[in-house]
Amino acid sequence: MNIFISDDNPIVAAQNLDDKRVVKMILESAQMLCSALHLCGASHLAKYKKTHINHPSNIWVRQTVGNYNWLLVHFEALCDEYEFRYGKIHASRSMLADLKEGAKYLPTGTLTPFANCAKRSDMNIDYSGINDIPVAYQAYLKDRWKNDKLKPKWTARGEPSFLKDLYADTNSSAT
């Protein structure tokens, strides 16, 4: 459970993700949005059961409508990315109208600082102490992608600019 906040703009953050994470994060984003709805009195609009409710990302999503709406825009952008890259519509996109309606059940408030969960103990990656959250997630993703067995791909889209030096030692780049 995570939100890879590699940019303050939720659309750019979605575009920055590689193919593997675009697919994975559509589901995780939908689960977090649905969990927020369950916990804010709108279970009738949630298509997924609540899960990982004490995870810092889940707590952040339900703190304010501003946070919820950021993830909602990110979720829609991830769905758009899936369609752009694969020419298909992700099944989770069908819940978008209900998730949008659910925003009115969230506590009022603007966007608050993002939760920094840029950490994977089993991979010895930890950028959770960096205050600039997009910078922390960019570093986290670079480490993750550098150590992936298969190089990450961005079908029909170039890799994000923050990766320009990731493959410098091999004189190749992800495609």
- Are 39 and 50 in contact by the 8 Å Cβ rule? The answer is yes
Torsion, Cα of 146, 148, 153, 158 (10° steps) = -10
Q: What is the value of pTM for the model shown? A: 0.92
Q: What is the pLDDT of residues 110-148, one digit of tens each?
A: 999 999 999 999 999 999 999 999 999 999 999 999 888
Distance between CA atoms of residues 108 and 122, nearest Å: 37
Which residues does residue 126 pair with via DSSP β-bridges, in sequence order? Answer: 119
How many CB atoms within 10 Å of residue 37? 27
Which amino acid belongs to residue 66?
Answer: G
Torsion, Cα of 54, 11, 163, 155 (10° steps) = 110
How many CB atoms within 10 Å of residue 109? 12
Q: What is the pLDDT of residues 54-96, one digit of tens each?
A: 999 999 999 999 999 999 999 999 999 999 999 999 999 999 9
